Structure 1
Amino acid sequence: MTTIALFGATGPTGRHIIEEALKQGYSLSVYTRDAKKLESFIGRIEIIVGDLSNQDAIAKCIHSADVVISALGPNALKVQGDKPVMHGLANIIAAMKHAGVRRLIQISTAAYRDPKDSFVFKAHAFALLFKVIARKGFEDIKATGELIANSDLDWTLVRIPNLKDGPSDGNVTVGWYGKTNLGMKLSRGNLAKFLVNQIVDKAFVRAAPAIADS
């Protein structure tokens, strides 16, 4: 059975990812700073407790995994210090390399620009607004995307707009800013399903597709 090491699982998106992965028959090793937040999943997942600087605990979470999914982002962490998500991902990538795990699926946003993008005012304005109101978060997302894209892993960066609570209905548009007509909303259920589907779907390996509800 394929095992997912999941980071950033205690936020609302993380719970959708856990439920989707279990529904699709995967086993899960889930990393959290607070095991109490995952009490409803006890007995169905393995829970590893640690923070993003705990390299031993990160290694324990990853060592028997086949793929890493990361829902880590500045929303899930109070941005303290310089680029905490990027530094956390650097520790995760080091553990992946040590364990021989190559597949990494990471949530990102329009703050990270992909070479396939064209200019589009809506996405550009959204990114600029985020940069103004949450500069540290913006810089962290951008740096995290660059760190992953410059690695030699089989990575996928899934770039998302505003998230809303809601189940998966399977209706998503996938493409590139400026080339695809992408909306500005995405349900957490649709995001979770897309992330988990990337484990077997190789269409976006070493690419950063943008997705939104259709």
Structure 2
Amino acid sequence: MKITVIGSTGRTGVHVLEQGIRRGHELTAFTRRPQLLENVTGLNNIVTGDALHVSDIKKAIENQDVVIAIVGDRSTPVATEITKSLIQAMQECSVHRLVCVSSYLLDSKRPRVITPFFQWLLRHSLADRLSADQLIISSKTDWTIVRATRLHDKPATGNVRIQKGEFESGPYEICRADLASVLLDTVTNKAAINSIINATWGRKK
């Protein structure tokens, strides 16, 4: 399958590239910093550009089957603007399948350690992410939004839970390597089209 990864040089994006290559997909990495991919072997293509520009995105997604988008963070809340450009580019290139990373904090009251103050600290990035999600939901793409619990860089476990509703119990965390696996699994999961799914680690055995 031909997959373009937007946000390919981020901490989750690199895992998506490496795992996607191992699975036999044809991966195109879209990035502003191609030098960060010098040690990644097996990529089908690297396209340098800015995800805020429709013309740049189109160069990366032309003739692709799927786009995996991992965009926006707490310091630079630009997910809404990037999503606008991405949806337009996908429409113009007739690319339909979109899998996008979002935040579990948008629609969850658990765990209880998520205090109002913590929500306040993240208010700008969460508002940006919610706006981006709303654009995706109203788009004509075959979208799936994957809302991840707290992310970190521990080793992959392969022990994950995914579901469409809120998790009734923890852990409320997942490593980026396991999230990357969830994203790649979601690409071919037809039951996940036009759905929001949550992703976290499985219960300890």
Q: Please confirm whether the aligned pair reaches a TM-score higher than 0.5, indicating the same fold.
A: yes
Cα distance change of structure 1 residues 110 and 130 upon mapping to structure 2, 3 Å threshold? farther
Cα distance, 1:39 vs structure 2: 1.1
* SS across alignment from 1:209: strand
Overall identity of the aligned pairs, in %: 28
In structure 2, distance between residues paired with 1:211 and 1:21: 19
1:121 aligns with 2:109: yes
| TM-fit CA distance, 1:95 | 0.8
Matched, 1:194 2:182: yes
Q: Tell me whether 1:96 sits opposite 2:93 in the alignment.
A: no
Q: Show structure 2 runs of 5+ residues with no match.
A: none
Is 1:107 paired with 2:101? yes
Code of the aligned partner of 1:143: S
AA at the equivalent of 1:213: W
State the one-letter code of the partner of 2:73: P
Q: Is the 8 A contact 2:79 2:129 kept in 1?
A: yes
Is 1:3 aligned with 2:40?
Answer: no
After the TM superposition, which parts of structure 1 deviate over 6 Å for at least 4 consecutive aligned residues?
none
Paired residues, number = 202
Pair 1:205 & 2:199 matched:
no
Q: Is residue 184 of structure 1 aligned with residue 183 of structure 2?
A: no
Contact 1:130–1:138 (Cα < 8 Å) also in 2 = no
Which position in structure 2 is the counterpart of 1:48?
47
Contact 2:69 2:100 in 1 (8 A): yes
Distance in 2 between residues matched to 1:199 and 1:149, nearest whole Å: 17
The question of whether the paired residues in 2 share the 8 Å contact of 1:4 and 1:67 is answered with yes
Give the drift of 1:52.
Answer: 2.0
Correspondence 1:91-170 to 2 at 5 A: 91-113=85-107, 121-123=109-111, 126=114, 128-170=116-158
Question: Which residue does 1:64 correspond to in 2?
Answer: 63
Q: Please report the TM-score for the alignment, with normalisation by the length of structure 1.
A: 0.86
Q: CA RMSD in A?
A: 2.0
Q: CA deviation at 1:202?
A: 1.4
- Kindly state the Cα deviation for residue 199 of structure 1 after the two structures are TM-superposed: 1.6
Distance across 1 between alignment mates of 2:24 and 2:115:
36
Q: Alpha-carbon deviation of 1:50?
A: 1.2
User: Residues 197 and 129 of structure 1: is their aligned pair in 2 closer, same or farther, counting only changes over 3 Å?
Assistant: farther
Kept in 2, the 8 Å contact 1:174–1:209? The answer is yes
User: Which secondary structure does the structure 2 equivalent of 1:208 belong to?
Assistant: strand
1:121 aligns to what SS in structure 2?
coil
SS in 2 for 1:61: helix
Letter in 2 for 1:198: T
**TM-aligned CA deviation for residue 155 of structure 1:** 0.5
Cα distance in structure 1, aligned partners of 2:129 and 2:19: 25
